Amino acid sequence: MIRNKFYIALAIIIIFIFIGSIISAGCKAEGEKEGTEEEEVQEGENATEEAVASEENEISEVNDISVEEVYEIINTNQDYIILDVRTPEEFSEGHIEGAVLIPVDELEGRLYELPLDKPIITYCKSGGRSRNAANILVENGFTLVYDMCGITDWIDKGYPVTTEEEAAEDNDVDSVVQAITVDEAYEFFNNEDYIFLDVRSQSEYGYCHIQGAVNIPVDELENRLDELEKDKTVIAYCSGAECSRSGMAAQILVNNGFNQVYDMIGEGIDEWQEKGYPVVIEKK
228-240: average pLDDT: 92
Position 79 confidence tier, pLDDT thresholds 50, 70, 90: confident
- What is the structure's pLDDT at 55? 43
Among candidate residues 140, 166, 192, the one where a domain is terminated: 166
End-to-end Cα distance, the chain: 110
Model pTM greater than 0.85?
Answer: no
Residue 23 maps to a domain: no
Range of the domain at 158: 62-166
What's the structural domain count of the chain? 2
Q: Summarize pLDDT for 13-62 with one digit per residue, the tens.
A: 777 676 666 665 555 555 555 555 555 545 555 554 554 444 444 446 89
Q: Summarize pLDDT for 95-137 with one digit per residue, the tens.
A: 998 899 999 999 999 898 888 889 999 999 988 999 999 999 9
- What is the structure's pLDDT at 181? 92
- What is the structure's pLDDT at 162? 86
- Mean pLDDT score of the chain: 82
Considering 27, 124, 208, 243, which one is annotated as catalytic?
A: 124
Residue 56 maps to a domain: no
Instruction: Tell me the CATH number at 258.
Output: 3.40.250.10
- Is 124 annotated in the active site? yes
Among candidate residues 109, 141, 166, the one where a domain is terminated: 166
What SS3 string covers the chain? CHHHHHHHHHHHHHHHHHHHHHHHHHHHHHHHHHHHHHHHHHHHHHHHHHHHHHHHHHHCCEEECCHHHHHHHHHCCCCCEEEECCCHHHHHHCECCCCEECCHHHHHHHHHHCCCCCCEEEEECCCHHHHHHHHHHHHCCCCCEEEEEEHHHHHHCCCCCECHHHHHHHCCCCCCEEEECHHHHHCCCCCCCEEEEECCCHHHHHHEEECCCEECCHHHHHHCHHHCCCCCEEEEECECCCCCHHHHHHHHHHHCCCCCEEEECCCEHHHHHHCCCCEEECCC
